[in-house]
């Protein structure tokens, strides 16, 4: 069995290290009518049938805020090919790779592919990116439709060293590919446009 982290020819990336959750909320109006609210962006949502370890594993669901302030839910995208780009604002290779997110999204959007960037740090190492930093990333990388998510180490990374409660990352940017069956099928550290395109096409 191949280990998810990582089946790769390592490319250029920033050296680095190694989430959690709750559930949907509801608000009751004064006349007792139940009105569903947008789920909270809680990061990794643990369950017994998911883990982030091997190729073929089913990932745990997660919810994070996107650049529009909406909650992006991984499992609501089931049926699409999903490329998860784990990046940070301070990582120069991440900044360079970020310019390819929207072009690749445009190229494969009609095939049901989503190029999703998860920013784990702002410009300060270990600090959750601010809304302003997310907006700056969107502007600087000419993003129009590719989701840019406001993540954090606490919400998305595994603190146990097992890869069960979140992702174990050895560098930035890290790319994880999820197939239409909501199973991992590839992953690599560092960015190559040609290699990313090849991996996307493998999932089509």
Q: What would the pLDDT profile of 121-160 be if each residue is shown by its tens digit? A: 999 999 999 999 999 999 999 999 999 999 999 999 998 8
pLDDT at 16: 59
Residues 6+ apart with CB under 8 A from 194: none
Is residue 15 pLDDT above 90, yes or no?
A: no
Q: Which domains can be identified in the chain, with CATH numbers?
A: 14-202 (3.40.30.10)
Highest average pLDDT, of 3-7, 17-21, 85-89, 162-166, comes from 85-89
Q: What global pTM score does this model have? A: 0.85
> Which residues lie across from 150 on neighbouring strands?
65, 119
Residue 9 — pLDDT band, cuts 50, 70, 90?
Answer: very low
> Which residues lie across from 27 on neighbouring strands?
35
Is residue 8 pLDDT above 70, yes or no?
A: no
Do 174 and 143 contact (CB within 8 A), yes or no?
no
Residue with tokens 């174990």: 168
pLDDT at 35: 57
Residues 145, 138: Cα–Cα separation, whole Å: 10
pLDDT at 25: 52
Residue 34 — pLDDT band, cuts 50, 70, 90?
Answer: low
Residue 41 — pLDDT band, cuts 50, 70, 90?
Answer: confident
The percentage of residues in the chain with a pLDDT greater than 70, rounded to a whole number, is 82
pLDDT of 57-102, one tens digit each? Answer: 999 999 999 999 999 999 999 999 999 999 999 999 999 999 999 9
Report the chain's terminal Cα–Cα distance, integer Å. 22
**What one-character-per-residue DSSP string does 147-202 give?**
-EEE--HHHHB-SSSSSSSSB--SEESEEEEE-TTS-EEEEEES--HHHHHHHHHH
């Amino acid at each position: 069995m191949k280990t998810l982290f990582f089946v790769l020819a390592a490319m250029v990336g920033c050296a680095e290290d190694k989430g959690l959750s709750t559930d949907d909320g509801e608000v009751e109006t004064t006349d007792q009518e139940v009105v569903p609210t947008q789920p909270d962006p809680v990061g990794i949502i643990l369950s017994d049938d998911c883990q982030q370890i091997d190729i073929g594993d089913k990932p745990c669901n997660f919810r994070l805020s996107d650049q529009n302030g909406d909650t992006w839910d991984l499992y609501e995208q089931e049926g699409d090919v999903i490329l998860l780009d784990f990046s940070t604002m301070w990582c120069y290779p991440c900044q360079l790779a970020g310019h390819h997110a929207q072009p690749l999204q445009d190229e494969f959007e009609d095939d049901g592919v989503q190029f999703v960037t998860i920013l784990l740090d702002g410009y300060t190492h270990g600090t959750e990116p601010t809304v302003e930093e997310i907006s700056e990333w969107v502007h600087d990388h000419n993003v129009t439709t590719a989701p840019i998510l406001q993540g954090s180490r606490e919400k998305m990374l595994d603190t146990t060293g097992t890869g069960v409660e979140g992702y174990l990352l050895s560098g930035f940017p890290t790319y994880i590919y999820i197939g239409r069956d909501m199973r991992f099928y590839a992953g690599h550290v560092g960015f190559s446009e040609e290699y990313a395109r090849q991996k996307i096409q493998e999932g089509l």
